[in-house]
Amino acid sequence: MRITGIKTLVVNAEMRNWVFVKVLTDQDGLYGWGEASLNWKTRAVVGAVEDIEPLLIGRDPRDIEQCLRVMNKHSYYRLGIIGATAISGIEHALWDIFGKSVGLPVWRLLGGKVRDKVRVYTHLGLGDMRSVYETFDKGALREKALAVVENGYDALKVVFIPYSHFTADIPSRRHVAILMETLRDAVGDGVEIMVDFHGRPASISAALQFIDELVPYRPMFCEEPVQPGDADAMRIVAERSSCPIATGERLVGIKEFEPLFMSKGAHIVQPDLNHTGGLLEGKRIAAAAEAAFMGVAPHNPNGPLAGVAALHFDVSTPNFVIQEEMSGAVPWYDAVVQTPLHREGSYWSVPTAPGFGVEIDENAAARHPFKPEVIHTLAAVLGDGTIVDW
């Protein structure tokens, strides 16, 4: 079996673009699908896939480890998030091919089943990205949170830490406490709440001040309280916080996670299997996290194929905690992609179809061509004009 080509298919899902990757083989009807979506970097990722394609033509797609070595080592320059996202999408497709070729779901090939269902959570707005990033009013927060719970979820994530700098002023801290109190009162103690800081505090002290406001309302975890890449800063936050701390969505590969493991800089790590190098790299990260007494809650605000890849990972990963998902983000979600993402309450069921068990209607996908995405970062400016982290 040999790889004969790699194609990309861009589908605009209103607030973001999905980048699907199709790896073709010389076996009739045997191909694989993956996803390489990256917000605001669509054309760059598509170009990276095109650049990588010649490295894999003629290779056996089932030799996944070897294909990864080729893509990483023969690119010469170390790959950042764009290259790693392109590789992740291609690697997903290789697993899909492998599973189809042997008639087994991908989770079987990743080590087999370690759980009977996969717990998931979603965001405010059930896929509407404006609701995710622009809900700072307590009335709207309550309404949108109740809508999530009414849809069967028992866990949700919010992003209402204000655009910050090196200090956290008293009105901002009080408003965060009011929002969290409103949220907890609305959903009760039976619903887990995760608060995504989005790396907005520019100092450890500001992050801790906001965390102190949240702790009385028992969040499941506080995510990315400071900008990624400084394991010592994360360690200080984790040590001083009485709330579990999560991070990792912007780290690429196990090398960038290693300082976090060594410093015990978090309680939960969040590799994005769509960005960090694929499923094999994700399994390495998960194994190292388990050795460091950390759980894994994969990041995934991406499209349906990224969700399916995460599902297979979650089924086979012992220290998995909970999965972020964005299914139903657009009304025509199921018209373009057929997936095994079947949710009952706040759990996905375990898929049984060979490979990833997905299929894409390329004609339906063509009705939603690339469009420039909404740039949320334009709002991340303080009153004096200072540009801060989104």
CA distance 285 to 84: 15
The residue assigned the tokens 């080509």 is: 5
198, 275, 312, 368: the active-site residue: 198
Of 321, 313, 359, the residue nearest 340 (C-alpha):
359
The residue assigned the tokens 């209607």 is: 361
Counting runs of H as helices and runs of E as strands, what totals does the chain give?
14, 15
198 catalytically annotated? yes
Of 161, 122, 164, 160, the residue nearest 141 (C-alpha):
160
Name the DSSP class of 258.
H
Length of the chain measured in residues: 390
CA distance 380 to 12: 24
CB 120 within 8 A of CB 347: yes
92, 123, 267, 299: the active-site residue: 299
Q: What is the 3-state secondary structure (H, E, C) of 134-186?
A: CCCCHHHHHHHHHHHHHCCCCEEEECCCCCCCCCCCHHHHHHHHHHHHHHHHH
CB 207 within 8 A of CB 236: no
299 catalytically annotated? yes
Helix orientation angle between 64-73 and 81-102, rounded to the nearest 10 degrees:
160
CB 14 within 8 A of CB 39: no
CB 338 within 8 A of CB 305: no
How far, in whole angstroms, is CA 203 from its chain's centroid? 25
Catalytically active residues, by annotation: 198, 299
